[in-house]
Amino acid sequence: MTPPDPLNPTVAAPPPPVSRGEALRFWLKLGCISFGGPAGQIALMHEELVERRRWISERRFLHALNYCMVLPGPEAQQLATYIGWLMHRSWGGIVAGGLFVLPSLFLLIGLSWIYLAYGSVPAIAGLFHGIKPAVTALVVHAAWRVGSRALKNAWLWSIAAASFVAIFALSLPFPLIVLIAGLIGHVGGKVAPDRFKTGGGHGAAAQGHGPALIDDDTPAPDHARFTWARFRGVLAVSLALWALAMGLLVAFFGWDGVLTRMGWFFTKAALLTFGGAYAVLPYVYQGAVDHFHWLTAPQMIDGLALGETTPGPLIMVVAFVGFVGGWTMQIFGSDALLLAGAVAATVVTFFTFLPSFCFILLGGPFIESTHGQLRFTAPLTGITAAVVGVIVNLALFFAYHVLWPQGLAGPFDAASAAIGLVAAVALFRFKAGVIPVVCGAGLAGLAVQLGRTALGL
């Protein structure tokens, strides 16, 4: 337990510095339990880093989150990379971001192999049947948690509501919603500056958590101070890594090789993932299914189910796409299908996430120089409010496909509704953790599946 501040015994002192070993163990744990999509993952990081461990203050956390929200790529993974970098330089960022992805990659390789080698198993289908409504409840709960922190006044509530209408009813593209919200925040920061300030008081202490290790007034460390020399160095290393990886693929497999095409295609996809995985899935579907024929449409849907129910970013569904593509195309021959799938999944994951690390290490020092400056934070505050509306839309998207799996003309899935309702009560009323909710829902889904099989339904 953190000892009290000797100058003020009623106030806890900031926690002690975090060692690299302690940070590594935490990021590994986070990568293994980060269910619930980006909203749930961000809420989980907030609970662990701001409330429980007090490694970073509320305001600094939200400032980093605002930056990650406007980047292409998985915002939760980028947020972990940002905080890891802020605490332990580039090593910390690479470890935090990498461990956010690697457990999911290994798990998806194993599940994809089972999926292709053994086909559809009723028990697995039953588990998925229960997990899907639980994931829906997790997204609703996370939307409530993020919204309760970000929507502090009528201005921000209005932005959130307008963004929901824009994406739900008008089908406006997410980048346009982000741009408009940022412009509203920019204007609002001048017209009503008090309405667009993030946080307030003394960091985590203002939220009743006590002062944080990286608090509102903690100066940026040397490595987080912007210099053009550091900017050019990071950019050069990032481009060199991409060129080296792509060059090796071309050298071994040629320009028309399956892995080479995957590397180039998913580099482009990574730069289009504004608004999360669902914003880029139509592009991935069009390329992987219709153009390259790496997998079929039903396989793509099954892969999305795997991505929804495994830890890590939802965009990790691309690992499934890569695995199935490598397996289907038999890139190493018919006797090495597992190796082909695993290598393809790894290649796809590398090219999908490399830009995320580049954006954080490039832009982090500049963002750190702007916290507390309203002219920079007000647009980002407006964007955060807009993202709340987008998360609500995602929750409705999940609920629709879970409760009416065959469309509104099809039957209502009462079992899924019951599982989702129980999961929501567990989250909202009893503050249950993610793992117990997901495991309990999976077992409930399995029981429903076995019951239907026994009754011949």
What does the pLDDT read at residue 176? 79
Minimum mean pLDDT among 358-362, 390-394, 424-428: which range? Answer: 390-394
Per-residue pLDDT band for 220 (boundaries 50, 70, 90) equals confident
Is the pLDDT assigned to residue 394 strictly greater than 50? Answer: yes
Residue 142 has pLDDT above 80, yes or no: no
| Predicted pLDDT of residue 300 | 82
List of long-range contacts for 288-294, beta carbons under 8 Å, 24+ apart: 288/321, 288/325, 292/261, 292/265, 292/325, 293/328, 294/258, 294/262, 294/321, 294/322, 294/324, 294/325, 294/328, 294/329
**What mean pLDDT do residues 215-236 have?**
91
Instruction: Report the pLDDT averaged over residues 403-407.
Output: 83
What pLDDT score does 387 carry?
A: 76
- Around Cβ 451, how many Cβ atoms within 10 Å? 12
Mean pLDDT for the chain overall:
84
Report whether pLDDT(331) > 80: yes
Confidence tier at 145 by pLDDT (50, 70, 90): confident
Two tokens, residue 148: 């309760």
Higher per-residue pLDDT: 394 or 353: 353
Does the pLDDT value for residue 8 go beyond 60? no
Asked if the model's pLDDT at residue 171 lies above 90, the reply is: no
* Rounded Cα gap, residues 124 and 406, in angstroms: 20
Confidence of residue 198 (pLDDT cuts 50, 70, 90): low
Query: Distance between terminal CA atoms of the chain?
Result: 55
Q: 114 Cβ partners below 8 Å, 6+ apart?
A: 121, 124
Rounded to the nearest 10 degrees, how much is the dihedral formed by the CA atoms of 48, 53, 59, 60?
Answer: -90
Interval 248-276: pLDDT, tens: 999 999 999 999 999 999 998 888 665 56
> Distance of alpha carbon 428 from its chain centroid, rounded?
21
Is pLDDT of 204 > 50?
Answer: no
For the segment 267-301, what is each residue's pLDDT rounded down to a tens digit? Answer: 988 886 655 665 567 678 888 988 999 998 778 87
Rounded mean pLDDT of 204-216?
A: 71
pLDDT, residue 86, reads: 95
pLDDT at 7: 47
Tell whether the model's pLDDT for residue 91 goes beyond 60: yes
What phi, psi does 376 have (nearest 5°)?
A: -95, -35
